């Protein structure tokens, strides 16, 4: 009889982690990194501002759109406020900005920064880094933003590219 109790106890100990991890997934608690992705279009909101800053041309703007994703933290109204820095007359540079996403109830589901390499005067390949809410998680994703020639519209793929990589070395952009 004691051998049967020992075997039953060992069986329960071996099965407990499986039950706990299944339960953690059921309530939305991540047990490790989870793939996440979204696709959306952004339209310029208001006018872009462009100015010369030393050897650079700096363009700033705000864009808005609607994101589609199977994960509700990446589905909703997106706002991107960005800065595009080119060498004067060049087609390569850097892009940076902030991206937020709110759900249909107005709750902030994503808050992040964007940093990327700008090529062909209109393609940004970079990283989105920030936080997700409801449930909470950190976010680190590859992003590709393809703009039209006037930087008025962008098609965005977050976490969907297979790793289109670019790199540039550039002198510090002056504060202006």
Mean pLDDT to the nearest integer, 98-127: 95
Tell me how far apart the alpha carbons of residues 79 and 175 are, in angstroms, rounded to a whole number: 24
Tell me how far apart the alpha carbons of residues 2 and 8 are, in angstroms, rounded to a whole number: 10
pLDDT, tens digit, for every residue of 129-165? Answer: 999 999 999 998 899 999 999 999 999 999 987 666 5
Nearest to 157 by CA among 65, 44, 45: 65
8 A C-beta contact, residue 133 and residue 97: no
| Topology (CATH) of 38-158 | AOC barrel-like (2.40.350)
- Tell me what percent of the chain is helix, strand and coil, each rounded to the nearest 5: 15, 50, 35
Counting residues of the chain whose pLDDT is more than 70, the rounded percentage is 77
Q: What is the pTM of this model?
A: 0.78
Counting residues of the chain whose pLDDT is more than 90, the rounded percentage is 64
Nearest to 132 by CA among 20, 43, 30, 21: 30
Nearest to 110 by CA among 78, 158, 142: 78
Residue 102: how many other CB atoms lie within 10 Å: 15
Reply yes or no: is the peptide bond before residue 6 cis, omega within 30 of 0: no
8 A C-beta contact, residue 54 and residue 65: no
**Domain boundaries of the chain, sorted by first residue:** 1-29, 38-158
What is residue 34's predicted lDDT score, i.e. its pLDDT? 85
Tell me how far apart the alpha carbons of residues 157 and 176 are, in angstroms, rounded to a whole number: 30
């Amino acid at each position: 009889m004691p051998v049967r109790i020992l075997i039953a106890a060992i069986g329960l100990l071996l099965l407990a982690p499986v039950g706990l991890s299944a339960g953690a997934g059921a309530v939305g608690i991540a047990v490790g990194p989870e793939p996440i992705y979204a696709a959306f279009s952004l339209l310029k909101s208001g006018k872009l501002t462009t100015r010369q800053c030393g050897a650079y041309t700096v363009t700033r703007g705000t864009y808005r759109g609607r994101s589609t994703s199977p994960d509700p933290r990446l589905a909703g109204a997106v706002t991107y406020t960005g800065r595009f820095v080119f060498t004067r007359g060049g087609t390569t540079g850097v892009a940076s900005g902030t991206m937020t996403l709110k759900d249909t109830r107005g709750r902030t589901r994503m808050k992040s920064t964007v940093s990327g390499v700008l090529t062909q005067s209109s393609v940004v390949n970079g990283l989105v880094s920030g936080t997700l809410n409801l449930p909470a998680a950190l976010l680190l994703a590859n992003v590709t933003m393809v703009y039209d020639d006037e930087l008025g519209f962008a098609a965005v793929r977050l976490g969907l590219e297979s790793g289109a990589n670019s790199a540039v070395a550039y002198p510090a952009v002056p504060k202006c």
